[in-house]
Amino acid sequence: MTDQRVTIDIAGGIADVRLSRPDKMNALDPAMFDAIARAIATLSVTLGLRAVVLSGEGRAFCAGLDMASMASGGSGTALGPRSHGPANLPQHVAWGWRTLAVPVIAAVHGVAFGGGFQIMTGADIRIAHPGARFAIRELHWGIVPDMAGIALWRTLARDDVLRELTYTAREFDAGEALAHGFVTRVADDPHAEALALARTIAGHNPNAIRAAKRLFAVAADADGHVIMQAESDEQVALLGSANQAEAVRANLEKRPAVFIDTA
């Protein structure tokens, strides 16, 4: 699928999603917000989907808000109704990746600033180029992070680190991002690395992968009792299912598994 600002290519159950406004380093204007939301909606109903790789075309992952667009009349990110469950549209373009049933892997190069940084952290896993640069940039413009960043970062980095990076709006490199937990690992070719990881994920029981993602979603807010009950409920549903039996057979027979996609 090709949208005005986002492209989606699907092969082998893996969606290769690219922000496609390279002349502006994939900066976020109203059209980009809408296109990302449409991409998330499309992926949420795509049958046979097993994993998503999210990246940016051109020199950067995403440079953040298109401030020129805002200055010429584009709406600020805080505006708008709760149009996507608990989120408004700009929050949804970051948080929405967490709501997808399958894992999302962000492949990051160039810069991920402000809103781009928040979108990146909406992914389950983040692979960055060694030369990538990052910033929680909003205070530079006299505003606060409001694209679900605060909700996303609490499971990634220490509170004092988040405060320092937010209050200063300073840039930091891939090594520091890795040390803080914003980046999963660093690779010279993050897109190729992300696709390879997606293929590994796609080779596992898709029902179990989706169940695991649901469990991690519960773990962010629930207490231990609720999490343990959720673990048991998911396991009961998986044990003895067709795809779980196929995983066992394939391992015993030392062959690739052939799973049935039920969603």
Is residue 11 domain-resident? yes
* Whether the Cβ atoms of residue 143 and residue 88 lie closer than 8 Å to each other: no
In the chain, the number of structural domains is 2
Is residue 211 domain-resident? yes
In the predicted model, what is the mean pLDDT of residues 234-258? 96
Is residue 261 domain-resident? no
Is residue 258 domain-resident? no
Pick the residue with more confidence: 4 or 234?
234
Q: Are residues 33 and 91 in the same domain?
A: yes
CATH assignment of the domain containing 194: 3.90.226.10
Closest to 210 in 3D by CA, of 233, 226, 180, 234: 234
Is residue 1 domain-resident? no
Residue 257 to residue 263: CA distance in whole angstroms: 17
Cβ neighbors of 126 (< 8 A, separation 6 or more) are: 105, 106, 108, 120, 182, 183, 184
Q: Are residues 49 and 13 in the same domain?
A: yes
Q: What letter represents residue 227's amino acid?
A: I
Residue 164 to residue 142: CA distance in whole angstroms: 15
Q: Are residues 242 and 215 in the same domain?
A: yes
| pLDDT tens column, 87-128 | 899 999 999 999 999 999 999 999 999 999 999 999 999 999
Cβ neighbors of 45 (< 8 A, separation 6 or more) are: none
Q: Are residues 241 and 139 in the same domain?
A: no
Is residue 259 domain-resident? no
Is residue 51 domain-resident? yes
Query: Which residue range(s) make up the domain with 189?
Result: 6-201
| pLDDT tens column, 173-224 | 999 999 999 999 999 999 999 999 999 999 999 999 999 999 999 998 899 9
Q: Are residues 76 and 104 in the same domain?
A: yes
Q: Are residues 141 and 246 in the same domain?
A: no
Q: How confident is the model at residue 70 (pLDDT cuts 50, 70, 90)?
A: low
| pLDDT tens column, 8-27 | 999 999 999 999 999 999 99
Q: Are residues 153 and 239 in the same domain?
A: no
Of 167, 184, 201, the one marking the end of a domain is 201
Q: Are residues 171 and 218 in the same domain?
A: no
Q: Are residues 131 and 236 in the same domain?
A: no
pLDDT of amino acid 81: 78
Q: b/e map of 15-53 (b: 16 or more CB within 10 Å)?
A: bbbbbbbeebbbbbbeebbbbbbbbbebbeebeebbbbb
Is residue 221 domain-resident? yes
Q: Which residue has the tokens 């097993």?
A: 50
Q: Are residues 45 and 145 in the same domain?
A: yes
* Whether the Cβ atoms of residue 85 and residue 79 lie closer than 8 Å to each other: no
Whether the pLDDT of residue 75 is over 50: the answer is: no
Whether the pLDDT of residue 42 is over 70: the answer is: yes
CATH assignment of the domain containing 224: 1.10.12.10
Q: Which of helix, strand or coil describes residue 144?
A: coil
pLDDT of amino acid 1: 64
Residue 89 to residue 195: CA distance in whole angstroms: 28
Q: Are residues 211 and 180 in the same domain?
A: no
Of 162, 179, 201, the one marking the end of a domain is 201
Closest to 182 in 3D by CA, of 140, 123, 98, 131: 123
Q: Are residues 163 and 113 in the same domain?
A: yes
